[in-house]
Amino acid sequence: MSPVTITARDGLALPSYPTLPVGAEPAGLPLVLLVHGGPWSRDSWGYNPVVQLLANRGYAVLQVNFRGSTGYGKAFLRAGIGELAGKMHEDLIDAVEWAVGEGYADRDRVAIFGGSYGGYAALVGVTFTPDVFAAAIDFCGPSNLVTFLRTVPEFVKPQLVNNWYLYAGNPDDTEQERKLRTRSPISRVDEIRTPLMVVQGGNDVRVVKAESDQVVEALRARGIEVEYLVKDDEGHGFVNPENNIDVYRAADRFLARHLGGRPDTR
């Protein structure tokens, strides 16, 4: 794991962390872009079991603190206002271009993987920029920002004023609702041609199961490959060890099939 600064297309400095697999030639590797949730969160230096699993399988892993991430000052945080599926996503694409330009990532073998906001980012990746990624994994990500914001629990709604309503929009305002729909992956679901894996907790009250169902149903109706893993005893993020083992074994096989990594055959 190394700390680097990637420069976005508009000059913003993006603190990032590439991790390279031990013992592999650092050239032309399959790359997993691992996107943190929130989006008001951050990636930081330290042990991450998902990163280490992926590196063990032969993938380069890239974590990017895109604009809107926390921990880098108010200007960096506020740079994400109004930029969902916009500059926040462009930061991720610029990071992929950086990894390819550095020579360690194979442009044709890049996956995007994330949970919650990271799952939304994965869906944005395969709908807004479908030519960039060879595979995508969405872990409990919202696909429709309007329905997502209308179905969050009542106790969460007062908190939305200074985060989701400020950064993305309030669905109760007609013009803001329109913008939310244009920034929603479901509005471009017909653009998806990338192999997709969707993971969802059946008891998730923050990002309800319908957010995943509508994407999966639309793709299956078109005959597009989508692997859908639902655990009814999980909420927003999995906590049961047996379920996490199932998810990451499935993700391991999925990425190996589409990126050519080394799967665990046990």
pLDDT number for residue 264: 67
User: Looking at the domain assignment, is residue 210 inside a domain?
Assistant: yes
Look up the pTM and report it. Answer: 0.96
Alpha helices, H only, 151-237: 164-167, 174-182, 209-222
pLDDT number for residue 223: 86
User: Looking at the domain assignment, is residue 86 inside a domain?
Assistant: yes
The string of pLDDT tens digits covering residues 209-261 is: 999 999 999 999 998 879 999 999 999 999 999 999 999 999 999 999 999 88
User: Looking at the domain assignment, is residue 264 inside a domain?
Assistant: no
Q: Which domain holds residue 93?
A: 4-259
Tell me the catalytic residues: 116, 204, 236
pLDDT number for residue 266: 57
User: Looking at the domain assignment, is residue 55 inside a domain?
Assistant: yes
User: Looking at the domain assignment, is residue 253 inside a domain?
Assistant: yes
User: Looking at the domain assignment, is residue 179 inside a domain?
Assistant: yes
What's the CATH code of the domain at 31?
A: 3.40.50.1820
- C-alpha to C-alpha distances, 199 to 9, 140, 154, 212, nearest whole angstrom: 32, 6, 24, 8
> What's the domain count of the chain?
1
For tokens 């041609």, what's the residue? Answer: 193
User: Looking at the domain assignment, is residue 80 inside a domain?
Assistant: yes
Q: Which residues are within 8 A (CB) of 140 and not within 5 positions of it... i.e. 6 or more apart? A: 115, 116, 119, 199, 200, 201, 204, 206, 207, 212, 236, 237
Return the closest-CA partner of residue 122 out of 217, 211, 56, 49. 211
Return the closest-CA partner of residue 60 out of 2, 137, 132. 2
pLDDT number for residue 265: 56
User: Looking at the domain assignment, is residue 265 inside a domain?
Assistant: no
